[in-house]
Amino acid sequence: MRRWSCAVLVLASVLQVSSSACAALGDDAAAIATDQAHMQASLRVWHQANYAVHELLAPSGITLRQFVGDGGKVFAVSWSGGWRPNLRDVMGAYYDRFIAGTRGRRATRGVARIELPGMIVVMGGHQRAFFGHVYLTDLAPAGFAPEEIR
C-alpha cells in the first residue's frame, strides 16, 4: 500500500467501474473499515443530529473525514495534510464528472471552489499543505450546512 487512500483498490475500481471498495462519495459507509486498514489509520466516529463523521488519522499526518448520512451513504469527504488524496478514490463514481467539469482555467489561482450539478468541491493550500472537501448536495441530509464539513 503506497498511497494513503486506498490506491491498491483503485485498479479494480477503475476497471469494474462499479462501486469501489473504498468509501468514496455515494458509497456505503461499511467500506470505511477497509480504508482504515489500508491507511493504517486510527478511526474516530462521532454523531451529529442526522449524520455521522468517520475520521481517519493516518501516520502520515493526513486526516480524512467521511460524512455518512442516516441512509448509510457517504455524502461528503474532507481532507487535510501534506498531499492531496487520490481524488479518484475520494470521489468514486463522481470523479469523471469532476474532471470533465474542471478542464480549463479559472478566475482564481491558488484556491478553488467548483460548483457542478449536485456537487461542490473546494480546494486550497500549497505544496506540502493541502486541504479540501467535496460534497454531494443531493445526498446531504436535509438542513445540512456545508460549514459543518470540518
Binding site for other proteins (CB under 8 A): 1-4, 7, 10-11, 14, 38-40, 58-60, 63, 65, 78, 80, 82-84, 86-89, 95, 98-99, 102-113, 122-133, 147, 149-150
- Cβ 65 to other proteins shortest distance, Å: 8
* Minimum CB distance to other proteins smaller for 71 or for 106: 106
Contact 86, 7 (CB under 8 A): yes
- Of 47 and 71, which has the nearer Cβ to other proteins? 47
Smallest gap from Cβ 144 to other proteins, in A, equals 15
Question: Which backbone phi and psi does 129 adopt, to 5 degrees?
Answer: -155, 90
- Nearer CB in complex with other proteins: 49/147: 147
* 13, 21, 45, 102, 132 from 16: Cα distances, Å: 5, 11, 30, 24, 27
Give CA torsion, residues 66, 69, 73, 74, to 10 deg: -20
Residue 35 CA to residue 66 CA, distance in Å, equals 11
If the CB atoms of residues 50 and 60 are measured against other proteins, the closer one turns out to be 60
